[in-house]
Amino acid sequence: MLSIIIPSYKDPLLHKTIDSLIENAEGEIEVIPVLDGYWPTTPIKDDPRIKIVHLGKNRGMRGAINAGVLVSKGEYLMRVDEHQIFGKGFDRIILETIQDNWIVTPRRYCLDVKKWEIMKDIKPVDFALLKIGKVGRNKDFEDHPGENEFIEKFAGIEKPGDDSQMIQESMAMQGSCWFMKRTWWDKVIGELQIEGYGPLYQDSHEMVFKTWKAGGKLMVNKHTWHAHKHRSFPRTHNNGTKENPSNNEQCFKYSLEVWREYFENEIKPKWKI
């Protein structure tokens, strides 16, 4: 069985995401929406494949994922965002080739949430390089470029789709959709760490670094796909919540402190970047 965990915070698209999962899965699944300190205005449908987890207070994305994994029963885990659609047979296609020490993400398209369809004018993302990049502290940088300060962070540099290899190794992923065997989560990931990282972000980097250190791989399977809400549409928890704010700058700094030496001395030489 595949356990599908959806960390959710006040996103009205949760119901449509659940429908897409159920309509397109071909194997045995359980869908676990983790309601992160709220109840949706429209109740979630009654379906034996849906197992609702309600958190008494907002824990943030990392805590919600941990809670969903804790109650899951499947041999395999899948994590998705609450604003996505999926290709037919996504579960069967991924699980046919997944290996015990892999994290696998499908080809990713952009989703127009108003039309509820793939944005065909934007190429899909398959592969991502991992680099240490710089982002500006000043949100108004474009209007006041001389006043901006920069902070460093791990970032994935996304590359467009390429069918020369339909299953290939990658360095980074968005984190919105991944699969792994439950035993790999238990043995290698353990849980997403909240101390230092905070309630949001850098979760995919934490998992990939832990996987590499344990001898595993991050893979992209282009035989199936998911489409994730395009950045032009608003989010419900970009910088945490009122109840549980995220210090993104501290998160980025902490992730670099933990993994920078390993990345620069062991990972970059292997990938020749």
Number of domains in the chain: 1
Strands 177-181 and 150-160: unpaired
Q: pLDDT value at position 248? A: 83
- Contact criterion met (CB below 8 Å) for 218 and 171: yes
In the chain, how long is the greatest CA-to-CA distance? 57
Q: What is the CATH number of the domain that holds 87?
A: 3.90.550.10
Q: Give yes or no for residue 147 having a pLDDT over 60.
A: no
Q: How far is CA 50 from the centre of its chain?
A: 20
Helices (H), the chain: 14-24, 61-71, 90-97, 182-184, 203-213, 248-262, 268-271
Domain extent at residue 70: 2-271
pLDDT band of residue 239 (cuts 50, 70, 90) is low
- Interatomic CA distance for residues 153 and 132, integer angstroms: 5
- Contact criterion met (CB below 8 Å) for 208 and 172: yes
Q: How many CB atoms lie within 10 A of CB 238?
A: 11
Q: Of 2-6, 69-73, 159-163, which gets the smallest average pLDDT?
A: 159-163
Q: pLDDT value at position 143? A: 46
pLDDT band of residue 140 (cuts 50, 70, 90) is very low
- Interatomic CA distance for residues 33 and 13, integer angstroms: 12
Structure tokens of 170?
């990658």
Q: pLDDT value at position 247? A: 79
Structure tokens of 43?
């109740």
Task: Specify the DSSP element, H or E, that contains 134.
Answer: strand 125-136
Identity of the residue numbered 137:
R
Model confidence, pTM: 0.92
pLDDT tens profile 30-41: 999 999 999 999
Q: Of 63-72, 139-148, 261-270, which gets the smallest average pLDDT?
A: 139-148
- Residue 48: name the closest of 69, 13, 22 by CA: 22
- Contact criterion met (CB below 8 Å) for 125 and 230: no
List the helix and strand counts (H, then E) for the chain.
7, 12
Identity of the residue numbered 98:
I
